[in-house]
Chain A
C-alpha cells in the first residue's frame, strides 16, 4: 500500500498539522463541558485568577484532564505500535490481551488485602499486574506447533480477562469498603484525576517514550522475521525483552493515571501506517500523536453523549474501536 505522506517533508508537515490539531482539541477540551466557559476565561484563570467557579473548574478540573488525555493517549498509541510489531499481529491491543484487566486486578488485590493506598505503590502494582498478565497471555498464545497466532492470542487474552475480572468482582463484593476506591480505578477516565497522578508517573512515561523511539530501528529489522534479524547480527531476544518491558511501562503507567482504556492502541497504528507507510519510527510518532488526539476527542465526546452524566472514556474508545477490530479481523487475517 502506498503511504499518503510519501516523503520526509510531507511527514514533518503532517506532524505540524497534528500538533495544531492537538492544540485545538486541548482548547476545546478546556472550554466545553458541563460548565461552559470561553477562551478569555481560560486565559484569565492563569493570568488573573479570581476564584470564580469557572476559573476553579478550568484550573482544577479541565487542565489536568487535558494533560492526562494527552499523556495517556500518547502512551497507548506507542504501546499499540510496539505490541503489534512484537506479536506481528494486526489486532493486538492492551485491552484485548488482558494487560488492563491484569493491572486492575492487582490494584484491587493490593487495596483489599494489603490496605495499600499510596500513589507510587499503585503505580508499581499496576506495572506488575500488566507485566504478569502480559507474560501469561504471550505464553498461552505461543502454544502449539504453528506458534503465535492472532486467534490464540485473542482467546488467551479473553480468558485471562474473564479470570481477572471474576476474581476482582468477588473481592469487591467481599470488601465493600474498597469498592469506592476501586470503582474509581476501574471506570477508566481521564477526568477526576488530580494532577499528582500524572506527575507521579510522568518520569516513567518519558523514559518509556525515549526507549520506544530508540527501539524503533531494531524493531524495523525484527519485523523482517527472526531469522533475518539474527542473520543481520541482532540479538533478537534482547530487543523483544526491551520492547516487552517498554509496553509494560507504557500500559502500566496509563492504567495508573486513567484506569483501563482499550482500543486506542489497536486503532492508531493502522491509521498511522495508512498515513506514513511502514517505517517504524514514523509510525510510532504518528501513532502516539493520533492516540493523544483520539483520546482527547473521545473525552470531549464522553461529556456530551449522556449529558449531564459522563460516559466512562473506556466505553467510548471501545465503541469506536470494536467496529475497527471487526474490520481488521475480517480483512487482515486471511493473509497471515
Chain B
C-alpha cells in the first residue's frame, strides 16, 4: 500500500489508512484558505497589512486595527468560510448519492426550498428569535428534497429524471419567493432580492455563531458516514450485495445534505454553483474516496466563497456586488463544460 499512511492507535482495536496525497493537498488547501482569509481581512476602504492582521488575530494588534478587523471584517470572512464549507459538503454528499456529476443542491431546487422557508419565516414570524432561521431553512430544504424524490420516483429514481424535475422545482421555488417578496414590507424586499442572488453582505458575529455549530456538526456527521457514501457510489446492486442498507443510508445522507444546504442558505442566500464546483475540484485533485474528498471539498468551498467575496467587495468599490454573481459567473460555464463532457452518457 504505497502512498498510504497506516495508523494503529491502541495497537489492536482500530486502524486507519490515510492517503498521503490527500493529507498534504488538504493541508495545502487549509493554508490557502487561511492566507486568503488574512488578506481579505486586510482589504477594504482602510487597508491593513497582513502582518498587522496576524497581530490582531493573536491579540497583539493596536486598538483601531482590532476594532476594524474583529468587529467589521471578521464576521463576514468567517461566515463566508462556513457557508462555503456547508455548500461544498452538501454538494459532495449529493453527487455521491445521486451518482450524477451534474447534481447539486442549488441546481435541483433544494436551496430554493430553503429560501422559500427562510423568506416566509422572516415575513410571517417577525417576532420569533432569528436563532430559529437555520432549522427553518433546513426544514424547507428537507421538504423540497422529499418532494423532489417523490416526484422523480417512478419504479426507482433515475438521475436524469431527478435533475429534470429538480430544474422545474427550482423555478417554482423562485416564483414562490418572488410572490412572498410581493407581500413583504419594503425594508425586507431589498434583503429578499439579495437573498435570491446570494450575498454575505452585512453579516454579524451573531450570524456566524448561529451557523457555526450546524456546519461543524453536520460535516462531522457526514464524515462519519463516509464509508456508506463510498459504497453508494458503486450503485444500488453492488452496495446491497455487500450488505449496505442502501435506502436507509440514502435517506440519512440526503437529510444531512438538506441540513447543510439549509444552514448555508439561512445566512448567505442562494450562492450558486459552489456546491457544484468544490466537490469536482476536490475529486480532480485526490480522487473519489469520500472520506478524503469531503474535508478537501469543504476547504475548497470556503476558499471559493472567500475569493469570490473578496472580488465582489473590492473590484467595484464602493459598490458591494453580491457574491453569488461571481460564483455563478464561474460556475455556470463550468456546468456547461460538464454538460459537454458528459454528452455521451
Chain A residues engaging chain B, CB cutoff 8 angstroms? 91, 95-96, 140, 143-146, 150-152, 154-156, 158-160, 162-163, 165-167, 169-170, 173-174, 262, 305-306, 309-312, 314-315, 318-319, 322, 325-326, 329-330, 333
Contact of A158 among B152, B167, B321, B343 (CB under 8 A): B167
Tell me if B182 and A159 are in contact (CB < 8 A).
Answer: no
- Select one of A150, A174, A314, A329 contacting B316, CB under 8 A: A174
**Residues on A with beta carbons closer than 8 Å to the beta carbon of B329:** 163, 166-167, 170
Smallest CB separation, B115 vs chain A (Å): 15
Q: Is the CB of B167 within 8 A of A155?
A: yes
Interfacial chain B residues near A145, Cβ < 8 Å:
343-344
Chain A residue at minimum C-beta to C-beta distance from B336: A159
Q: Once the chains bind, are B167 and A159 in contact (CB under 8 Å)?
A: no
Sorted nearest first, the 8 A-B pairs with minimum C-beta distance are: A144-B343, A166-B328, A163-B332, A318-B175, A322-B172, A170-B325, A143-B343, A162-B332
Task: Name the distance in Å between A309's Cβ and chain B's nearest Cβ.
Answer: 5
Task: With A169-B325, A315-B178, A319-B172 given, name 19 new contacts (CB 8 A).
Answer: A96-B171, A146-B344, A155-B335, A158-B107, A158-B167, A158-B170, A162-B328, A163-B333, A166-B329, A167-B325, A312-B182, A318-B172, A319-B175, A322-B171, A322-B172, A325-B168, A326-B168, A330-B151, A330-B165
Determine the residue in chain B with the shortest Cβ distance to A170: B325
Bound-state Cα–Cα, A133 to B332, Å: 14
| A169 lies within 8 A of B178 (CB) | no
Smallest beta-carbon distance B219→chain A, Å = 26
| Chain B contacts with A in 173-215, Cβ cutoff 8 A | 175-176, 178-179, 182-183, 197
Q: How far is the CA of A319 from the CA of B169 in the complex (A)?
A: 10
Q: Taking A158-B107, A163-B332, A163-B333 as contacts, is the C-beta distance between A306 and B160 under 8 angstroms?
A: no
Given contacts A306-B183, A318-B175, contact A140 B167 (CB under 8 A): no
- Which of A150, A167, A326 is packed against the most chain B CB atoms within 10 Å? A326
Name the contact of B175 in the complex, choosing from A144, A151, A306, A315 (C-beta under 8 A).
Answer: A315
Q: What is the CA–CA distance of A140 and B179 in the complex, to the nearest angstrom?
A: 32
A152: contacting residue among B322, B324, B328, B343, CB under 8 A: B343
A9 to chain B, nearest CB (A): 38
For chain B, what secondary structure do more than half of its interface residues adopt (helix, strand, loop), or is it mixed?
A: helix
CA distance A306 to B154 in the complex (A): 36
- Place the interface of chain B in its size category: 35 or more
B contact set with A: CB distance below 8 Å? 102, 107, 151-152, 154, 160-161, 163-165, 167-172, 175-176, 178-179, 182-183, 197, 272-273, 316, 319-322, 324-326, 328-329, 331-333, 335-336, 339-340, 343-344
Report 19 cross-chain contacts, Cβ distance below 8 Å, ordered by A residue. Answer: A96-B167, A140-B336, A140-B340, A144-B343, A146-B344, A152-B339, A162-B331, A163-B332, A165-B328, A166-B325, A166-B328, A170-B321, A306-B182, A309-B183, A312-B178, A319-B176, A326-B151, A326-B165, A330-B165
Residues of A within 8 A of B171 (CB): 95-96, 262, 318, 322
User: CB-CB < 8 A to A155: which residues of B?
Assistant: 102, 163, 167, 335, 339
Q: How many Å lie between the Cα of A91 and that of B29 in the bound state?
A: 42
Q: Are B161 and A333 in contact (CB under 8 A)?
A: yes
Given the complex of chains A and B, what is the CA–CA distance between A95 and B167 in angstroms?
A: 12
Please, how many angstroms separate the alpha-carbon atoms of A305 and B176 in the complex?
Answer: 12
Give min CB distance, A25 to chain B, whole Å.
22
A166-B197, A311-B182 are known contacts. Are A154 and B328 too (CB-CB below 8 A)?
no
Which residues on the B side are within 8 Å of A160 (C-beta)?
332, 336
Chain A residues with CB under 8 A of B335: 155, 159, 162
Name which residue of chain A comes closest to B332, CB basis: A163
